Amino acid sequence: MKLIAHTFDLPLRHTFTISRESTNVQPTLIVELTDGTHSGYGEATTNAYYGMTLDRMQAALESVRGIVENTSELQPRVLWEELAVALADCPFALCAIDQAAYDLWGKQQGKPVYELWGLNTKEVPHSNFTIGIDSIDVMVEKLEEMPDWPIYKIKLGTEHDLEIIKQLRKHTRATFRVDANCGWTADEAIQNSQELKKLGVEFIEQPLPREDVEGARKVFQESALPVIADESCISEADVAQCKGRFHGINIKLVKCGGLTPARRMIDHARRLNMKVMVGCMTESSVGISAIAQLLPLLDYVDMDGAALLSKDIAAGAAVEDGVCHYPKVPGNGVTLLGNN
Ligand SMILES: [Mg+2]
């Protein structure tokens, strides 16, 4: 088996602005694993918050190239175990390899990965479309630009959060979810939950900072809406800690290290009676197609990443107005498009 690293700049539909800078592209690392007949693909985007640069992720890949290329009979779970210690500091690279391993494994057997897991896609949740923080006018514009999604996830954490939801509610009857990205106190979260419930909000994602454990317990008890952990649930070890603080968890494949640990996190959360969501980054159809394999196991999904791009680098599972369309290609279904 051979490992090939590709890098791309994914062009964004909208300029993405944070306090320090604006950007029009999202750099991403695509791992290709090939047995000479089939190729599998996996993805990890760069991420400043987690210190994940292309250089760092590529160095991590090189550190395990020998182990990966000496694999004779591919078993993604076994390969993951062989790499987990060496890549403990770089779960993003581990995720890209793990996704590629599943995509190749499925292609070698001529079946979709979800089918090899014994799952079917007859009834799977719809994805939300995410609306980032901006002026209320621009947030309304973003909603109206994507009018047919059944669910919108609205980013909050401003001085006028309830006003944002009230204004957006005038333009759609769709379900709302809100993500405060650690921006509230426990009292704000509890108060906001009452109003947000009346405005047709389904749940609140990560209202408090990860450190506010006592606050999370209070919100869990008193919130009018379910609360879902995101920043508080990064890796497998975090799942147990979320019991009694959250009603569910949002798993991101790059943060936990791929599909292999994500499946264990889902099982663990179910045993603890918690809801399960999987979220994405701004990423191509490579990463989104990996998430699609998990859909039958989920309550909620946020897999709009490729819908935020003006041009994709791959074909695979395609999400249109919240509905995931599965490709007729085995594995995760990824085909890398040419001319990039
Ligand atoms: Mg979030």
Nearest to 327 by CA among 167, 139, 116, 112: 112
Nearest to 174 by CA among 212, 138, 127: 127
Q: How many CA atoms lie within 13 A of 197 on its CB side?
A: 11
Is 107 in the active site?
A: no
Q: How many CA atoms lie within 13 A of 86 on its CB side?
A: 19
Given the residues 2, 252, 255, 311, the one annotated as active site: 252
Residue 301 corresponds to which tokens in the numbers above? 């999904």
**32-91: per-residue pLDDT in tens?**
999 999 999 999 999 998 999 999 999 999 999 999 999 989 999 999 999 999 999 999
Is 311 in the active site?
A: no
pLDDT at 20: 58
Q: From the CA of 74, how far away is ligand 1's center (Å)?
A: 33
Q: How many CA atoms lie within 13 A of 176 on its CB side?
A: 29
Q: Is the pLDDT of residue 13 over 80?
A: yes
Distance (Å) of CA 324 to CA 151, 152, 336, 337: 13, 15, 19, 20
For the entire predicted model, the pTM comes to 0.96
Residue 105 corresponds to which tokens in the numbers above? 């494994």
pLDDT at 332: 98
Given the residues 155, 197, 255, 328, the one annotated as active site: 155
The number of residues in the chain equals 340
Distance (Å) of CA 138 to CA 135, 160, 216: 5, 14, 31
Q: What is the DSSP string of 220-236?
A: HHH-SS-EEESTT--ST
**Architecture of the structural domain at 2-113:** 2-Layer Sandwich (3.30)
Q: Which CATH entry fits the domain spanning 116-336: 3.50.30.40, 3.30.1380.10, 3.50.50.60, 3.20.20.120? A: 3.20.20.120
Region 121-134: mean pLDDT is: 95
Q: Is the pLDDT of residue 247 over 80?
A: yes
Q: From the CA of 230, how far away is ligand 1's center (Å)?
A: 5
Q: Is the pLDDT of residue 17 over 70?
A: no
Q: Is the pLDDT of residue 340 over 80?
A: no
Reported confidence tier of residue 251, pLDDT bands at 50, 70, 90: very high
Beta strands in the chain (DSSP E): 2-17, 22-34, 39-45, 129-131, 151-155, 175-179, 201-205, 227-229, 248-252, 275-279, 300-302, 314-315, 318-320, 323-325, 335-336
Region 150-178: mean pLDDT is: 97
Reported confidence tier of residue 338, pLDDT bands at 50, 70, 90: confident
Judged by phi (left if over 0) then psi (alpha if -120 to 50, else beta), residue 200 lies in: left
Region 7-31: mean pLDDT is: 83
- Measured from the Cβ of residue 47, the count of other Cβ atoms closer than 10 Å reads 18
Q: Where is the binding site, in residues?
A: 179, 205, 230
Residue that the structure tokens 């379910």 belong to: 226
Cα(292)–Cα(287) distance, rounded to whole angstroms?
Answer: 9
3-state helix, strand, coil in the chain (%, to 5): 40, 25, 35
Contact present, 315 and 284 (Cβ < 8 Å): no
pLDDT at 203: 98
Q: Is the pLDDT of residue 22 over 80?
A: no
Q: Is the pLDDT of residue 241 over 50?
A: yes
Q: Is the pLDDT of residue 248 over 90?
A: yes
Contact present, 42 and 97 (Cβ < 8 Å): yes
Cα(270)–Cα(109) distance, rounded to whole angstroms?
Answer: 29
CA angle centred on 278, ends 273 and 281, rounded to 5°: 155
Region 222-248: mean pLDDT is: 97
Q: From the CA of 236, how far away is ligand 1's center (Å)?
A: 17
Domain boundaries, the chain: 2-113, 116-336
